[in-house]
Chain A
Amino acid sequence: QKEVEQDPGPLSVPEGAIVSLNCTYSNSAFQYFMWYRQYSRKGPELLMYTYSSGNKEDGRFTAQVDKSSKYISLFIRDSQPSDSATYLCAMSAPGGTSYGKLTFGQGTILTVHP
């Protein structure tokens, strides 16, 4: 079983829709949670970062973490064609031999149609 599970999709939605992307994890040592966005033929770039349970909002994006259920989500409101990309969740644990190391989900391919 992978430490981080993410539905690869693909996910196709019309412009303006609310998008929900999700990851589950099994390692309770994970304390830091990130969402990266990767456009076609580009490297991933950090979109959202959070370290506590609850919600964090940044414009049209909301990251949600539920440590008790080992479940994280990314919501995109009023989705735009420019949001079409692969979204990867990533997690890390503080200290020890895992310090500095990110574990990524498989990535979800999102397409937003005009």
Chain B
Amino acid sequence: DAGVIQSPRHEVTEMGQEVTLRCKPISGHDYLFWYRQTMMRGLELLIYFNNNVPIDDSGMPEDRFSAKMPNASFSTLKIQPSEPRDSAVYFCASRVAGAKDTQYFGPGTRLTVL
């Protein structure tokens, strides 16, 4: 099992540019979560999906952030336009229903917005 796959691993962009982060969950998992981690705020849940449907997006900071899950094996998190305060590590995690809430995290995407 390859685990949760995220791309790119590192992204450096300039303020105002569009950023797209990608995630492939573990096959068979029906929940997918997007998190953001910073030193100041820790690990924050942005949005999560169940069976490709967004369930809770209350953590999405503002309209500049959007997330999609067009199928069970792929999700994107888009920031448009990006701002320096969006600099953080973004994690994707997945789990299977009934798995005692165990979430499996990807390696993360380190985003730097200049």
Contacts and interface: CB of A to CB of B under 8 A. Distances in A.
B69 interface: no
A69 interface: no
Contacts of A64: none
A83 B80 CA distance: 39
A112 B107 CA distance: 23
Given A100-B55, A104-B43, A107-B42, A46 B102 contact: yes
B108 interface: yes
B42 A46 contact: no
Interface of chain B: mostly helix, strand, loop or mixed: strand
B56 interface: yes
Contacts of A104: 42-43, 45
Interface residues of A, number: 21
Interface stretch (B11-19, B60-68, B93-101): B93-101
Interface of B: 4, 31, 33, 42-43, 45, 48, 50, 55-56, 91, 93, 95, 97, 100-108, 110
13 contacts: A34-B102, A41-B110, A43-B4, A46-B102, A49-B102, A51-B100, A97-B55, A100-B31, A102-B101, A104-B43, A106-B42, A107-B42, A107-B43
